[in-house]
Amino acid sequence: MNNRFRLTKSDSKIFLRLILTRIGQAFLSVFGVSILVWALLPLAEGDTAERVLKARGVENPTTLEIQTVRDEFGLEKPLVVQYFNWLKRAAHGDFSVSYQSKRQVLTEISERLPATILLAFAAFLLSLVFSILGAMVSATFYGKFPDRVIQFLTQASSAVPSFLLGLLILQFVVVGYGFGNVVSDVSFSDAVLPAFCLAILIFGSWTQILRANLLEALNSRYALVAKARGASNQRILWRYALPNALLPFLTVVGIGIGSLLGGAAIIETVFSWNGIGSYAVQAVAARDLPVVQGFVIFATLIYILSNLTVDIIALWLDPRLRIVTKLEKFI
């Protein structure tokens, strides 16, 4: 292993402190989110029992039906009691049952998670390839025609709304040319179009950031020294600039993975992809609040975990960050 990746005793302590601090912060964040998310239930406009029945397709419930639901969900207990009961259950992974399906929310989310992971994985791979390729070409031909084309594409990808891109792909690629399916089964082949769509949406920001990092690396002193020692432009780009540019890029990628796993809600809905994102959209539309609560907590955890993981990897890969953390300790 390269020496710079080896951890000293002091580094290990910093690592441990960082992880514990972050875990503590994560608990606080989840607790804060839990209050906000739980408050959706009592603060939402209207009668909860009527909302439950509406989510189950009963537009015009009778008094008896409403009372039956009140008893079922314990809606007549005080709010504080309702919150702590909910928190206790949520800590054990019990987010109650979906108003619509009457099944455990955690079960429903778990069943859809593999589909979201598959889509996120495919989209992540495509995004990574597109953005690295785009940034490398752009940096190599800085200021020239290929750079301008890629700059235009990145700006366009950031500007196009996801649902529009999805519908255009379905209309012209699937309906127009018969490639792929409108209603997706959760399979690798059906993942390609939604993954491509997601990748295009991420491509813009990732490419811009990596391109900026690459240009900074190419203008650095070590690149100048390498050039003076006779290294070709390609060698400088691949051997020196890219590894250094990838470190800050890692943080952006980590956040991107969080958003992909948290559910690419619109794309999943447009492509009928049976993941947790489309499930959350349906739950919001039906005001199925236990599902919305479960989804928000799940997405929060994913974001926190992915950020924590990225921080740790960055600290491990980049010794300069460990020095900064040591200095912070003395300030």
Partner 1 sequence: MKTSLKFLIFATLSFSLFSSCNPAPENNANDKLLRIVTSFKVPTLVPNESATYFLIEYGVAETPLFLDDAANLKPFLLESYTLIDEKNWKLVVRENLFFHNGKPLTAEKFAAAMNFQLQKSPATKSILPNASVKKTGERELVLTTENPNPNVPAALSDESGFPIFDVECIESTNGDADNIIQNGCYTGAYKLKSLDDREMILEKSLNYWQGSPPLDEIVVKFVPDAQTRILAVQSGEADIALYPPSEAKRILANQTNAFFNTSENSGGGPRLFFNTKRAPFNDVSLRRAVGFGINYQSLATEVFDGVFQTADGFYPPIFKFAVQNQKTDIAEAKRLLAEAGWTINQNGIRTKNGATLSAVLLTYPQQPDWVTLATAIQANLQTIGFDIKIRQVEDINAALKMDDWDFGIISPGILTSGGAPDSALQEYLTTNGEKNYGGATDSELDNLVETLSRTFDAEKRNAQLQRIQQIVIAEKAFEVRPVFTRSRVVVGKRFQNYKPSPRLHHITFDTKPSE
Residue placing its CB nearer to partner 1 in the complex, 271 or 295: 271
Given a contact cutoff of 8 angstroms between Cβ atoms, the answer to whether 243 and 226 are in contact is: no
Residues in Cβ contact with 239 at an 8 Å cutoff, skipping those fewer than 6 apart: 226, 231
Q: By CB under 8 A, is residue 247 in contact with partner 1?
A: no
- Angle between helix axes 289-317 and 105-140 (nearest 10 degrees) is 40
- CA gap 52, 42 in Å, rounded: 13
Residue placing its CB nearer to partner 1 in the complex, 196 or 295: 196
Instruction: Tell me which of 250, 281, 301, 314 binds partner 1, using CB under 8 A.
Output: 281
Instruction: Please report how close the Cβ of residue 277 comes to partner 1 at its closest, in angstroms.
Output: 11
User: What spatial distance separates the first Cα and last Cα of the chain, rounded to whole Å?
Assistant: 32
Residue placing its CB nearer to partner 1 in the complex, 51 or 322: 51
What are 104's strand-pairing partners? 97
**Sites for partner 1 among residues 52-81 (CB under 8 A):** 53, 56-65, 68
Count of residues for the chain? 331
- CA gap 282, 279 in Å, rounded: 5
Q: CA nearest 220: which of 239, 199, 244?
A: 244
Q: By CB under 8 A, is residue 285 in contact with partner 1?
A: yes
Angle value at C-alpha 21, between 18 and 24, nearest 5 degrees? 150
Q: By CB under 8 A, is residue 183 in contact with partner 1?
A: yes
Instruction: Please report how close the Cβ of residue 235 comes to partner 1 at its closest, in angstroms.
Output: 9
Instruction: Please report how close the Cβ of residue 271 comes to partner 1 at its closest, in angstroms.
Output: 7
Residue placing its CB nearer to partner 1 in the complex, 298 or 303: 298
Residues that bind partner 1 (CB under 8 A): 44-47, 50-51, 53, 56-65, 68, 100-102, 108, 111, 125-126, 129, 132-133, 167, 170-171, 173-175, 178-183, 188-190, 192-193, 196, 238, 269-272, 274, 278, 281-282, 285
